[in-house]
Amino acid sequence: MTASDAQKFLKDLDKKLWTAADKLRANLDAAVYKHAVLGLIFLKYVSDSFELRQQEIESQLRDPEHDYYLDPADHDDAEYESMLADELEVRDYYLEENVFWVPALARWKTIQQSAPLAAGTEITVKNGASKQYKITSIGKLIDDALGEIEKENPKLKSVLNKNYTQLQLPQPSLIGLINLIAEIPFQHEDLDAKDILGHVYEYFLGQFALAEGKKGGQYYTPKSIVNLVVEMLEPFKGRVYDPAMGSGGFFVSSEKFIEEHGGKIGDVSVYGQESNPTTWRLAAMNMAIRGIDFNFGKEPANTFTHDLHPDLRADYVMANPPFNMKEWWDGKLEGDPRWEHGDPPQGNANFGWLQHMLYHLAPKGSMALLLANGSMSSNTKGEGEIRETIVKADLVECMVALPGQLFTNTQIPACIWFLTKTKQKRGRGKNAYRDRVGEVLFIDARKLGYMVDRVLRAFTDEDTERIVSTFHTWKRDRDNYQDVAGFCKSATLDEIAEHGHVLTPGRYVGAEEVEDDGIPFADKMGKLTAELADQFAESVKLQKAIRKNMKALGFELPAGGQK
């Protein structure tokens, strides 16, 4: 399957799911219905993953060549099948493959088959031992299923929305929603199940945001940008922190990076904070299904006024907070110890985010922050002084200017700030960092990327590799790094001071070199002038032809321009 085929598959899935789900919504408020949909999608995904692992285990138990083989020789058929069923409920088989454990009551087959049954019907669930469960309503069944998941996975306590009993959704509509979500194919030849889950969540959140009268797509950082940041920071080991985590995209990408480079996911612990309750829950679910150790606090909270990790000093900090956030200041932030480099303006949170992240950075830590382009040059209300102080402290390591149209929810041009607490030489072998004291790398990536569709741009793998390899070569091997006109430039703090501590890459990288084709300028100009004259003449002919045709149709164009 090609990338375009996969994209078509996901778009078709989007349209089908949303159209059907919206029909079932009836008069239920989008903000309430949202949680009903997202909770069921979560149940379907974890059940599919569990069932897939269960099928693998059964195959191994029946395979004489496998270590798990269960020999049927000494048992009759019924006894053997009973033993097999018991083995399939052993948790260790699932945990060893980092598969989320799903209690029997919460498995999708149980929910879908039980939903149409009448109140008072008893069903048998087998979770090691068999027990009876009496159905009182579909909503109660789902709430109890989610409750069972919380018991088995304590990290999800207070995360899952157990309010289906209170939903003002007609029973037939809830059954219809269950049957609709049953059609989500989390197993696909060329798409990872977790990526399909993330895509479905992203699409539904965007659609619900629009239905609630908010901007759609406000929760997600573009994948190509997330991947770029993670590839540049290389979070192999230690504490990773995102103070504006959304649904946890940076953490998910960090997991993939670690797996692809042969690292251990257990070597990383993640810390996050998010004020939006929906995305806070979504981030926790995202981590739980991946087996990632996480600490997102006990509740959603405002990062500035209620810092959930006041003592954290992280090895890697990365974030994509809201750009140019105006309504963020609170009186109790006056004189906050996080404002080490100057009080951020009360009408723009950009330098509040930057300093919050620096405050939580370990002595040898590195960070990446997406901000609006204005942060690189603005002098409004002390921003210039803060930026100058940070540059003089030699905390800025790299600035990357991004192309437009990368974000679905804003057209504000953006950049990435890479900062570090130390640029001194450290480490050993091929991954050692050279001494970069007093140097800053500027990368102008505005001309990179391709149009995914009419409105959205993304980086190709080659674009990402070009940026990442430039950064890593500069950081590790100065002899093999070269400035490239129009793309990258290693500048000193003195050079930056000459530019008034403005950090816009375009000021430093210069213009892209144009290859000399050997044709003298006078000859080129003569040829271009002749071509322009021909085009003017052709324009006159076309205007005359149009006027003639319009006149034949009984319309007289007003006089003007060429006759």
Whether 239 shows a pLDDT value over 60: the answer reads yes
Convert the pLDDT of each residue in 291-334 to its tens digit: 888 999 999 999 999 999 999 999 999 999 988 999 999 999 99
> CA 136, CA 238: separation in Å to the nearest integer?
47
Kindly report the CATH number that applies to the domain delimited by 3-211. 1.20.1260.30
Kindly report the CATH number that applies to the domain delimited by 225-508. 3.40.50.150
DSSP 339-407: -TT-PPPTT--HHHHHHHHHHTEEEEEEEEEEEEGGGGT--GGGHHHHHHHHHHTT-EEEEEEPPSS--
Do the Cβ atoms of 233 and 467 come closer than 8 Å? no
Token pair for 420:
């570090």
> CA 265, CA 259: separation in Å to the nearest integer?
7
% residues pLDDT > 90 (the chain)? 49
The angle subtended at Cα 87 by Cα 83 and Cα 91, nearest 5°, is: 155
C-beta neighbour count of 264 within 10 angstroms = 10
Pairing mode, if any, of strands 414-420 and 439-444?
Answer: unpaired
Q: What is the DSSP letter of 484?
A: B
Domain ranges of the chain: 3-211, 225-508, 521-563
Do the Cβ atoms of 415 and 369 come closer than 8 Å? no
% residues pLDDT > 70 (the chain)? 93
Helix (H) or strand (E) holding 498: helix 493-498
> CA 358, CA 363: separation in Å to the nearest integer?
10
pLDDT band for position 563 (50/70/90)?
Answer: very low
Higher pLDDT pick, 132 / 206 = 132
Whether 493 shows a pLDDT value over 90: the answer reads yes
Q: What is the pLDDT of residue 514?
A: 52
Higher pLDDT pick, 526 / 144 = 144
pLDDT band for position 154 (50/70/90)?
Answer: confident
Phi, psi for 167 (deg, rounded to 5)? -65, 135
C-beta neighbour count of 554 within 10 angstroms = 6
Token pair for 229:
């940041």
Q: What is the pLDDT of residue 200?
A: 80
Higher pLDDT pick, 559 / 100 = 100
Sorted by sequence, the CB contacts under 8 Å of residue 209 that are 6+ apart come out as 215, 216, 217, 218, 219
Q: Is 275 helix (H, G, I), strand (E, B) or coil?
A: coil
Helix (H) or strand (E) holding 177: helix 171-181
Name the pTM for this structure. 0.80
Mean pLDDT of the chain: 87
Whether 216 shows a pLDDT value over 60: the answer reads no
Token pair for 335:
């004189």
Q: What is the DSSP letter of 267?
A: G
Higher pLDDT pick, 295 / 191 = 295
